[in-house]
Structure 1
Amino acid sequence: MKDRLRIALAGNPNVGKSTIFNALTGSNQHIGNWPGVTVEKKSGVARLGADEIEVVDLPGTYSLTAYSVDEVVARDYIIDEKPDAVIQVIDATNFERNLYLTTQLMELNVPLVIALNMSDEAEKNGVAINRTLIKKYFEIPAVRTIGSSGEGLDELLRAAVSEAATSPHHEHAIGYGDEIEEKIALLVPAISRDAALASRYPPRWLAIRLLEGDENARARVAESPVRDAIASELAKTGAEETEAAMADRRYEVIAALLPQVCTTCVRTLNASDHIDRVVTNRWLGIPIFLALMWGAFELTFAAASPFAAAIDAGVAYAAAAVSSGVQPAWLGLLLGDGIIGGLGAVLIFIPNIFILLLLLSLLEDSGYLARAAFVMDRLMYAIGLPGKSFIPMLIGFGCNVPAIMATRTIEDSNDRLITILITPFMSCGARLPVYVLFAGIFFPQNAGTVVFALYVLGIALAIGSAWLMRRSILPGKPAAFLMEMPPYRIPTARVSLRHMWDRGQMYLRKATGVILIGALVVWSLASFPAGAEYGSAESYAGMLGHLLQPLVAPLGFDWKIAVALLFGFVAKEVVVGSLGVLYGAGEGSLPAALLADPALSPVTAFALMAFVLIYLPCLAALAVIKKETGSWKWTGFSVIYGLVVAYLVAFLITRAGTVIAGGI
């Protein structure tokens, strides 16, 4: 007997499903991947009185037609793992759109409960949904919830527990008309003759999926002793026509029932619609998006500068004190130059990173970033990609690893591969310390604008690369992009701060892990062999750097930059940590040391920032590229292509900057 009930959360994207999951499970969460795929799996434990309930957050999906990995994962979990109940989270402000998934969940014969989420926003818009009539017509209990405040969640769990203990479930099935129902009636007995098949999958559901031409469903009956009888019936049916007819019938049922359960669901123009007329305007949309991003970077530098300066002074003082005060001398140098100098050089930028993450969280939670994907759809389609590809690119502003994984929602294999290959050009948070360091030193009056220019450069290179790949190695036509806009809402401090912390703590973990190890490795290379002057040409770091210097000299980089870039392959933050060690930040401030280096100039600094933006995905991103593509060939292509483009861009910046600086 199971120790606890298992409840699955299903729903369309942007309905607040993750918010409800977080509210139900709190810190009792486990995050991994579903077996065999890189789709994120979230599970946690909720408590109802003294009882513990396992909650599984299924991938967001508009339907269960198995066209994407998300749809397959969500559907297979319900069918194969058989949770005790399923909660479908519905955006009450877009009630009609969510009902298509409801009709498909009903066919799975699972204990089902509807969570009418964002009910407060729906009610403000004059939407009144009759939960009693939902129960009457759909035989599904509906609960009013507000995920952001936790209202209604206990009642929701109680309803799910009650449904799990009730049988039978959802006898009201959609009728597909005489012709299709006759075909279903012939398939169901054939399926039922295989007792094992019929016990594992609801026969009517499986018959419907087979008639719709679902390859996943057909694979399930391929080894069945009744496969020939099933194949004989399917041979008489056109799958595409049947699927379209079934979809039409579901929409007809929804259209008929909607006025019964929601007399005010006919939408009128509201404040969100009026705002969208401006921010998604054909001509204004992209300039507004760019202006908001520029403002975010400018505000980040303005707000973070005092905090960063204080941390910088503290790190420099601590490093100098430890280097000179701890005995034996080698230990003082290890702690001062190696650990405090290397790690501190990265921690200086915590204020910038957390402030930028907070601003991006506010834009996301307000509903604006979804509009950014819509605004970019026309441009993406022109280069040969669906607008959906811009969503992973936006996620890439935080981290390329989940961004590459997010490409799983793209159905076409070539569209998905191109998106995977161009996503590393999006400037992730790991590159931000490099930008903040060099932009703050060499462009103190325009640091925000310089960082903004780097983000735009990344987008431009991604788009240009996609255009080139689509017209050469990965031809094809992009799919249409359909997207439901979430309503604008005022972000809550609790949710936005939670999003900021969830993303920012990744940076902190890296700073105390791989970046510290990288700094210690670089310090060791700079300190040995015994007798060599620290960081000199005779040290191992100097030998390695001078070996690499001829490769980067045309870009204006010296051997210290070459060593930092080499170790930055592990994680981009290591570039700053390495520079903190190599420039002896234990003896003073790293910005001051860099500014005093005659080999560095504004032109070199901008070329270096562009190179760090482009040259290599980090080790973790490369591992995900290999896993997602299943190919060493494409992983190697990503490395070589990035290095070539980085070198060309940095070379052009160096040459053009030198000409401009020389007044020619």
Structure 2
Amino acid sequence: MRQTYTIALAGNPNCGKTSIFNHLTGARQKVGNWPGVTVEKKEGLLRHRDADLRIVDLPGTYSLTPFSMEEIAARDFVINEAPDLVINIIDASNLERSLFLALQILELGRPAVFALNMADTAQAKGIRIDEKKLSDLLGLPVVFTVGNRNKGIGDLVDRAIEEIRAFEKGKKTRPIRYGKEVEDSISRVLTILDSDPDPENIEALSRWNAIKLLEDDRIVKERILVRMSGAGEEAVAEAKACRKRIFDQFQDDFEIVLTEDRYGVIAGIVKETVTNLASRRIDMSRNIDLVLTDRFLGIPVFIFFIWAMFQLTFSLGAYPMGWIESGVGFLSARLDLMLEPSLFKSLLLDGIIAGIGSVIIFLPNILILFFCIALFEDTGYMARAAFLMDRVMHTSGLHGKSFIPMLMGFGCSVPAIMATRTLEHEKDRILTILMTPFMSCSARLPVYIVLAGSFFAHRAGTIIFCLYTAGILIAILSGRLLRSMFFKGEDAPFVMELPPYRTPMLKSLLIHMWDRSKMFLRKMGGVILIGSIIIWGLSNFPRNISYSVDYQGQIKQVMEAAETQMAAAEEKEQKILKDQVSHKIMEIENKREQERVAKSYIGRLGHALEPLFQPIGIGWRAGVALVTGFVAKEVVVSTMGVLYGVGEENGKALESALRKSGMTPLSALSMMVFVLLYVPCFATVMTIYREASARWALFNVIYTTMVAWAMSFLVYQTGCFLQG
């Protein structure tokens, strides 16, 4: 009979926990939020021999002290959900730092297995760990792993299942013992807690509760007072007395004394189990950092990497983009031949296929962009980017740590804004949230590719790079302005760990890339499909339009004149006349279509908005597309695809339609600047509302739109002035 177990993965940031989680669960993952907080929650399933395992990836944290949302989410899951086992992922090359969290996990009294991850990195640094002695000292299994190479993962799962079954048979955790004074205080509080009949107050957890009361943990204290009433009040009072006695004896708070004891235990464990031969090895990460984080070379190298990312996104993505575009054109042409003229045919070709087809062709570019971002993260370069940008970010009153959420905004603003929860100070967090929408998300990329590809050809990659750079600069300048207006105070200091460089594994990169791209695909069947249908409906109704010219009569006159000329012409001249007639008829039909769309509901809306967009060089069709972009930025392209009627054409249909519509390179540049800076999508606005407040969400909508219009006006009017 198969048994089902829940296993939690815990560990410090940059310990390789995500790599192990990806190898364990593969594509069988789901992502959401922890109940009550905006911290990302990852779960996956693993079938291993005779067991079904639910793997929960806890947020990366350095301790279980409830200061940040990550620490609270991790701790609450282990306590409230009571997983069958906790796998603590430990950076083998930095055992001393990792053991601080490990001891706190042991204090919870849950079954655990320690995975000494990145064993190859430790070995390269000359670090030798006696895992058998470490296992004996801690009373739990210890397994060496190399997460990014899938080494030791099978053994880790085997040992985890064995440990779970050993606890089912009665095995207990071995408590970590501290100094005499600390243990005496724990014993006093523990005696009171153990006298309570509360069935949830099991032996191991009661020791942890005693430690938390002595640390004056507000959350645990409130829970105990509610559950244990009289005994709880007695335990809290005893903890307070013990804290006073410890302070009188050591002139330090209990938390400080306990932390010193913890590090004393850690020092003893490290001395017993670790042999360090680091002096005989070369630290490759440090040597690489001599170049990549150099005060003079670091930023130019970083700029080059970002430029290369966008150049690769545009140039390499052009090939599969062309294949998908040809497929969309082929499908549209075949359906055009198969279906009789009708309203349904127009909806299918000009609405659904024109709308979705205009966006789905950019999937390869989105995949490449997310692959590059995952590459930066998995190699360890993302932390270096934050370190490099620290001095630049200080101009806006922030520090380099704020740049990581902003850099994530290149992918999607929603998780980027949620990532600001790692910032310790509320002012820094809100300011970073307000700056992040200026970082150009992947949803804007299709608009850039269409406009830059149409009007700037081979320089398109450089133009897109300049747009992203402009977004960073405007974000920083906005930060400086907003800081001086709303967030006055001293700058926070910047302390951040630089993880060692690692060789990324292709499987992990592909999982990261696919996870982030699924959102783009989900929009195809949701907001983009609905948006395309609505835009088609607004552009095709009302059906009875009074035209200013008798277009059908003009076509009839052209055909009659052509018949007369054809009768008197020779065979060679007849072919030329046919081409001329076809061209004239097409021109008349295009004029009729333009007038029809202009008099439709969406045309009326566009003309009403024209005075707003005219000073920045944007026509009414593009103006309507920008308005619909509030729902999702991908809808900008699908709206243009519908309004310019590219559903039944092949090749670079939308690009050709844009050039024929009278849009110029200058107006295209103005529109790209507006798309870069204006109001973020609805999902981002709602995320700002949840993470900050309704007031800041509304402020962001107004502020970003004002900045976008002002910068587009500056670009367009300056360009017009220079052109004479």
| TM-score band, normalised by shorter chain | over 0.9
Deviation at 1:364, TM superposition (A): 2.4
Q: Partner of 1:445 in structure 2? A: 458
Given the alignment of the two structures, is residue 593 of structure 1 paired with residue 598 of structure 2, yes or no?
Answer: no
Matches within 5 A, 1:621-660: 621-629=684-692, 631-660=693-722
Deviation at 1:430, TM superposition (A): 0.5
Matches within 5 A, 1:128-527: 128-164=128-164, 165-166=166-167, 167-175=170-178, 177-196=179-198, 198-199=201-202, 202-223=205-226, 224-229=229-234, 230-231=236-237, 233-234=239-240, 237=244, 241-264=253-276, 266=278, 269-316=282-329, 318-320=331-333, 322-323=335-336, 326-527=339-540
More moved, 27-36 vs 638-647: 27-36
Taking the aligned partners of 1:87 and 1:20, their CA distance within structure 2 comes to 11
Contact preservation (8 Å) 1:213, 1:240:
no
SS at match of 2:470: helix
- The one of 625, 633, 643 equivalent to 1:564 is 625
Give CA deviations for 1:165-205 in whole Å, capped at 9, x if unaligned.
Answer: 33454424141x34434433332223334332733972332
Deviation at 1:103, TM superposition (A): 1.5
Deviation at 1:323, TM superposition (A): 4.2
Q: Partner of 1:80 in structure 2? A: 80
Contact preservation (8 Å) 1:319, 1:585:
no
Taking the aligned partners of 1:21 and 1:388, their CA distance within structure 2 comes to 25
- The number of residue pairs the alignment matches comes to 659
Q: Which of structures 1 and 2 has the bigger CA Rg?
A: 2
Deviation at 1:310, TM superposition (A): 4.3
Across the aligned residues of Structure 1 and Structure 2, the Cα RMSD in angstroms comes to: 2.4
Deviation at 1:504, TM superposition (A): 2.3
Taking the aligned partners of 2:614 and 2:277, their CA distance within structure 1 comes to 66
Contact preservation (8 Å) 2:85, 2:111:
yes
Taking the aligned partners of 2:92 and 2:270, their CA distance within structure 1 comes to 13
Taking the aligned partners of 1:200 and 1:333, their CA distance within structure 2 comes to 71
Deviation at 1:576, TM superposition (A): 0.4
Matches within 5 A, 1:532-543: 532=545, 534=593, 536-543=597-604
More moved, 89-98 vs 552-561: 89-98
Deviation at 1:462, TM superposition (A): 2.1
Give CA deviations for 1:287-333 in whole Å, capped at 9, x if unaligned.
Answer: 22111101111222222233334444554454355446521333332
Instruction: Quickly say closer, same or farther: Cα 1:103–1:233, change in 2 above 3 A.
Output: closer
SS at match of 2:89: strand
Contact preservation (8 Å) 1:300, 1:352:
yes
Contact preservation (8 Å) 2:42, 2:56:
yes
Contact preservation (8 Å) 1:319, 1:337:
no
Taking the aligned partners of 2:269 and 2:463, their CA distance within structure 1 comes to 55
- The one of 664, 670, 675 equivalent to 1:607 is 670
Counterpart amino acid of residue 44 in structure 2: G
Provide the TM-score with structure 2 as the length reference: 0.86
Taking the aligned partners of 1:284 and 1:234, their CA distance within structure 2 comes to 55
Q: Partner of 1:46 in structure 2? A: 46
Deviation at 1:457, TM superposition (A): 1.7
Deviation at 1:266, TM superposition (A): 4.8
SS at match of 1:226: helix
Taking the aligned partners of 2:615 and 2:437, their CA distance within structure 1 comes to 24
Taking the aligned partners of 1:193 and 1:170, their CA distance within structure 2 comes to 21
Contact preservation (8 Å) 1:316, 1:585:
no
Taking the aligned partners of 2:630 and 2:450, their CA distance within structure 1 comes to 18
For structure 2, the residue ranges without an aligned partner over 5 or more in a row are 546-591
Contact preservation (8 Å) 1:323, 1:586:
no
Taking the aligned partners of 2:521 and 2:205, their CA distance within structure 1 comes to 48
Counterpart amino acid of residue 720 in structure 2: T
Contact preservation (8 Å) 2:107, 2:175:
no
Deviation at 1:422, TM superposition (A): 1.8
Counterpart amino acid of residue 40 in structure 2: E
Taking the aligned partners of 1:250 and 1:382, their CA distance within structure 2 comes to 39
More moved, 7-16 vs 351-360: 351-360
Counterpart amino acid of residue 217 in structure 1: V
Deviation at 1:395, TM superposition (A): 1.6
For structure 1, the residue ranges without an aligned partner over 5 or more in a row are none
More moved, 236-245 vs 93-102: 236-245
Deviation at 1:51, TM superposition (A): 1.6
- The one of 584, 587, 595 equivalent to 2:645 is 584
- Compare the two structures and name the one with the higher helix fraction: 2
Taking the aligned partners of 1:360 and 1:39, their CA distance within structure 2 comes to 20
More moved, 457-466 vs 575-584: 457-466
Matches within 5 A, 1:6-155: 6-155=6-155
Given the alignment of the two structures, is residue 550 of structure 1 paired with residue 556 of structure 2, yes or no?
Answer: no
SS at match of 1:53: strand
Contact preservation (8 Å) 2:10, 2:87:
yes
* Identity across matched positions, percent: 46
Instruction: Quickly say closer, same or farther: Cα 1:444–1:208, change in 2 above 3 A.
Output: same
